[in-house]
Amino acid sequence: MLQLATLVRHHSQYRPHQVAVVFEQERLTWCQFAMRVGRCARLLQWLGVRKGDRVATVLSNCRELLEIYWAVPSIGAVLVPLSPLLMASGLASLLRDSGAVCLITQRTMAPVLSQVRDELPVERVLMIDGSIGDYADYAALLKTLPEEWPEPTSVSRDDLFNVMYTSGTTGLPKGIMHSHFVRAMYCTLFASAWRMSPESVVLHTGAIVFNGAFVTLMPCFYLGARYVLQRQFDPDEAIEIIARERVTHTMMVPAQIIALLNSPRFSVDKLASLEMILSLGAPLHQEHKDLLNRLLPDRFYELYGLTEGFWTILDKTQSLRKAGSVGAPPSFYTMRIVREDGSDAPPGEIGEIVGRGPSLMSGYYGRPDLTDQAIRGGWLFTGDLGYTDGDGYLYLVDRKKDMIDSGGVKVYPRDIEEVAARHPAVREVAVFGVVHEKWGETPVAAVILRPDAVLSASELCDWINERVGARYQRLHAVQIMDEFPRNAAGKTLKRTMRDAYQSGPSAAD
């Protein structure tokens, strides 16, 4: 039997009075947290949830979401975390696709649910912050149940732990299935990779409904370390939390790291307790990596990975020696760079990144056709382009779908972004291709400037075009924006910007 939920019970027995979870003003010991998880598990069983049933959540970061994350698998049910930013039609579609029998959500979602009330497939809907109509009050129901764990449910290594829906930056979301064994690999492999211990203090600042959160959540709960959850990302508050809680480990997407570095409260002293700053979710441009390594040396890690189950890790000991790389596969993982004809590319040649390892997904839920496209012969075809050096370290070039075909020449947006990021006035940059009558496609840069910058779009465009490595990399235009559209995971939505640019007037100052 492989029962991940026994981790919480284990720590409640052997570390009962150690602080397990910090959320705003709440500080729960392992004993207190375990009692809440046990009650939640009993509630789900009382509602009729059985082994293999799907339990969906549509919740912002909160303590309740953490306890549900451990209660659901403890009875052999399957987690389906969904984003509270979903529109009504999207929410109904994913609930139908997952086959969820129970939904736990919050009152702010009531207007969204009312739009698709007749389409909801779930049998039970609970609100964590008070009942509305026939939507039950989660907190009130919990109080009616004893603070005891239900009888353990036998769970095998191949039983499903969760169905994680992709954030949909490149198409309709797909339900990625992770087994209990895969999540156990998250526990052990990442605990080792991040050098965590039971004394670690782990801060998460982004939405925990996305898979990236599990990269630090699982090893933290495996070790019995302290998990500090921010309700929503705020760089100033994050800095104060790190200083107050003496946080040792944190992970952020690039936009959050950039915001942290630009915060007026940024202070090397306040962040001195950090042993790890992990960047994931998108490439962090070298300009920002270099700044981070100068200000906070020997702390920077980078993870390249897919929810589907392949990773490379740039360790803090290699972040200077292998600048520009996203690391190497960890132990038990294998990587290839594959040409379009299916043959393996030698070091230095760009091809599709293909990998395999013990964290590979069971497949896309209900989509064996898409599973067969992604996993071939036991190898995950990532759809990302990269190359390796002579030591086997991976250098990420771009996503296949983001590559720009300009006059028959391949243009990689990231190459241009690295140049633009070096301008002192540029805070963030995203390059994408737009339709061009002569060249087919041509690159355009969307840019967020620093608050004190005085610079026109045309001036910046000229500056970048003078420094790119080839004529075909020259920008057609620069668009200065106040903020980028992002999904709830914090990833920049290039496709949204491209569509808006192409449907509107030409970029101007």
- 177 found inside a domain: no
Same domain, 360 and 494: no
Same domain, 321 and 444: no
- 51 found inside a domain: yes
pLDDT, position 146: 82
User: 459-466 long-range contacts, Cβ below 8 Å, gap at least 24?
Assistant: 460/420, 460/423, 460/425, 460/426, 463/423, 464/416, 464/419, 464/420, 464/423
pLDDT at 20 over 80: yes
* Structure-token pair, residue 499: 């569509």
- 69 found inside a domain: yes
CA distance 140 to 419: 56
Tell me how many domains the chain contains.
3
Closest CA to 171 of 354, 359, 364, 433: 364
pLDDT, position 2: 55
Same domain, 487 and 354: no
Taking all residues of the chain, what is their mean pLDDT, rounded to a whole number? Answer: 91
> Could you report the per-residue pLDDT of 468-497, keeping only the tens digit for each?
877 778 999 999 999 998 876 777 888 888
pLDDT at 96 over 50: yes
- 172 found inside a domain: no
- 492 found inside a domain: yes
> Could you report the per-residue pLDDT of 77-87, keeping only the tens digit for each?
999 999 898 88
- The CATH number of whichever domain residue 444 belongs to comes to 3.30.300.30
- The CATH number of whichever domain residue 63 belongs to comes to 3.40.50.980
pLDDT at 172 over 70: no
Same domain, 386 and 460: no
- The CATH number of whichever domain residue 368 belongs to comes to 3.40.50.12780
Same domain, 423 and 376: no
pLDDT band of 134, cuts 50, 70, 90: confident
pLDDT, position 408: 67
Same domain, 311 and 446: no
pLDDT, position 168: 47
3-state secondary structure of 355: strand
* pLDDT greater at residue 508 or residue 396: 396
CA distance 260 to 231: 16
> Could you report the per-residue pLDDT of 279-332, keeping only the tens digit for each?
998 888 888 999 999 999 999 999 999 999 999 999 999 999 998 999 999 999
Same domain, 204 and 341: yes
Q: Which domain holds residue 261?
A: 191-399
Mean pLDDT along residues 245-255: 95
pLDDT, position 281: 84
Which among 399, 414, 448 is the end of a domain?
Answer: 399
Which among 399, 429, 463 is the end of a domain?
Answer: 399
pLDDT, position 357: 96
pLDDT, position 402: 80
CA distance 80 to 210: 10
> Could you report the per-residue pLDDT of 59-83, keeping only the tens digit for each?
999 999 999 999 999 999 999 999 8
- 413 found inside a domain: yes
pLDDT at 509 over 80: no
- 161 found inside a domain: no
Angle at alpha carbon of residue 382, lines to 258 and 329, rounded to 5°: 75
Cβ-based neighbours of 179, under 8 Å, separated by 6 or more: 157, 158, 159, 160, 161, 362
Same domain, 386 and 423: no
Query: pTM value?
Result: 0.85
> Could you report the per-residue pLDDT of 137-150, keeping only the tens digit for each?
999 999 998 877 88
Which among 347, 378, 399 is the end of a domain?
Answer: 399
Same domain, 393 and 422: no
CA distance 297 to 271: 11
Cβ-based neighbours of 325, under 8 Å, separated by 6 or more: 314, 318, 389, 393, 394, 395
> Could you report the per-residue pLDDT of 336-376, keeping only the tens digit for each?
999 999 999 999 999 999 999 999 999 999 999 999 999 99
CA distance 202 to 274: 10
- 374 found inside a domain: yes
Mean pLDDT along residues 236-247: 97
pLDDT band of 167, cuts 50, 70, 90: low
Same domain, 395 and 409: no
CA distance 227 to 29: 11
CA distance 102 to 363: 23
pLDDT band of 105, cuts 50, 70, 90: very high
pLDDT, position 409: 73
pLDDT at 237 over 60: yes
Same domain, 262 and 318: yes
Mean pLDDT along residues 214-226: 98
Same domain, 251 and 345: yes
> Could you report the per-residue pLDDT of 365-416, keeping only the tens digit for each?
999 999 999 999 999 999 899 999 999 999 988 777 787 877 667 788 888 9
Percent of the chain with pLDDT over 70: 97
